[in-house]
């Protein structure tokens, strides 16, 4: 774990996983998680650089932060690490942040990957969208405090196990099979780290998800990379065909085949 001091005095906590000499890939963690989430991912010849967003893990909270403010923090870290061009991946709640970086830093971001990303909070959605509860928390801070406060208390005291926390009984068979005991323990540790300072991080994220993002998906011109698909629940913004990336994105792969996430322009440090 390392701390990078930003120009405004805040600290940005980051941690690298994988090959220190590998190709650099910025990791944007999911909602209520932390940089430790990236330890679940095993990639050959890749340096995975996971960053705690403000208020999560070891990063200083930032009152009133916005989605469009995140790329400046990432750019500052890239500068101090000496990385001219990288890839970026956003998982779940990290998806909007990865897209924001791809839009704002096209000269620094060579490719963006999205894994089950949180979509813009506009409807109607295709099918039943479980993310509506997250958007409600974002629109109602008191509701967020009522939900996240007790959850954090139980989680930090290890009274909230994986069965209840992840809703195992409601997950599709493929997800239940993938969520082994070791992976569940790792995800719980990531969430405990993410919430150790308090609930300011996830509350800010929920507010950001529920509000207009400040840009359209069509503004993102960076190459989109897709990998192997698996069965899971999903919801998508209206107008986006099921299983298709945003119109502005270009997939380099096909279903059932893993693809190389390294277009030209990314070189190891």
- The rounded distance, in Å, linking the Cα atoms of 86 and 101 is 11
| pLDDT for res 171 | 72
Band of residue 164 on the pLDDT scale cut at 50, 70, 90: low
Give pairs for 139-145: CB < 8 Å, separation 24+. 139/207, 139/210, 141/203, 141/207, 144/199, 144/202, 144/203, 144/206, 145/199, 145/203
| pLDDT for res 129 | 64
Q: How many domains does the chain have?
A: 1
**Terminal Cα-to-Cα distance of the chain (whole angstroms):** 19
Residue 251 lies in a domain: no
Looking only at the bridges linking them, the beta strands covering 86-91 and 23-28 are parallel
- The rounded distance, in Å, linking the Cα atoms of 92 and 27 is 11
Residue 165 lies in a domain: yes
Residue 264 lies in a domain: no
Residue 89: give its domain's CATH number: 3.40.50.1820
| pLDDT for res 9 | 97
| pLDDT for res 177 | 82
pLDDT average, residue stretch 34-55 = 94
| pLDDT for res 236 | 40
Residue 252 lies in a domain: no
The pLDDT tens digits for 188-209 are: 999 999 999 999 999 999 999 9
CB 56 within 8 A of CB 28: no
| pLDDT for res 235 | 37
- Taking 60 as the threshold, does the pLDDT of residue 245 lie above it? no
Residue 234 lies in a domain: no
Which one is predicted more confidently, 199 or 177?
199
- Taking 60 as the threshold, does the pLDDT of residue 117 lie above it? yes
Residue 167 lies in a domain: yes
Cis peptide before 124 (omega within 30 of 0): yes
- Taking 80 as the threshold, does the pLDDT of residue 253 lie above it? no
- Owning domain of residue 173: 2-224
Which one is predicted more confidently, 231 or 150?
150
Strand partners, 48: 17, 25
Residue 230 lies in a domain: no
Residue 171 burial class via C-beta count within 10 angstroms: exposed 0-12, middle 13-18, buried 19 and up: middle
Count of helix runs (H) and strand runs (E) in the chain: 8, 7
Least confident of 28-42, 83-97, 160-174, 222-236: 222-236
Residue 69 lies in a domain: yes
Q: What is the mean pLDDT of the chain?
A: 81
- Taking 90 as the threshold, does the pLDDT of residue 165 lie above it? no
């Amino acid at each position: 774990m390392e701390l990078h001091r930003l120009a405004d005095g805040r600290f940005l906590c980051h941690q690298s996983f994988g090959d220190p000499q590998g190709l650099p890939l910025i990791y944007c963690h999911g909602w209520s998680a932390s940089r430790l989430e990236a330890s679940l991912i095993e990639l050959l010849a890749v340096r995975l650089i996971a960053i705690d967003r403000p208020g999560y893990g070891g990063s200083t909270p930032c009152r009133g932060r916005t989605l469009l403010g995140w790329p400046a923090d990432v750019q500052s870290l890239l500068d101090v690490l000496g990385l001219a061009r990288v890839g970026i991946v956003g998982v779940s709640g990290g998806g909007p942040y990865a897209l924001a970086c791809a839009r704002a830093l096209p000269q620094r971001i060579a490719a963006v990957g999205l894994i089950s990303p949180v979509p813009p909070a506009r409807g109607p959605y295709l099918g039943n969208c479980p993310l509506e509860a997250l958007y409600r928390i974002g629109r109602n801070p008191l509701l967020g405090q009522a939900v996240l406060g007790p959850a954090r208390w139980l989680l930090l005291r290890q009274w909230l196990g994986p069965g209840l926390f992840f809703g195992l009984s409601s997950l599709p068979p493929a997800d239940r099979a993938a969520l082994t005991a070791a992976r569940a323990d790792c995800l719980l540790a990531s969430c405990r780290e993410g919430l150790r300072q308090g609930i300011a991080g996830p509350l800010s994220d929920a507010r950001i998800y529920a509000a207009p993002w400040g840009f359209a998906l069509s503004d993102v011109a960076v190459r989109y990379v897709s990998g192997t698909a698996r069965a899971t629940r999903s919801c998508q913004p209206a107008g986006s065909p099921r299983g298709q990336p945003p119109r502005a994105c270009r997939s380099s792969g096909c279903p059932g085949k893993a693809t190389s996430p390294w277009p030209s322009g990314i070189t190891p440090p």
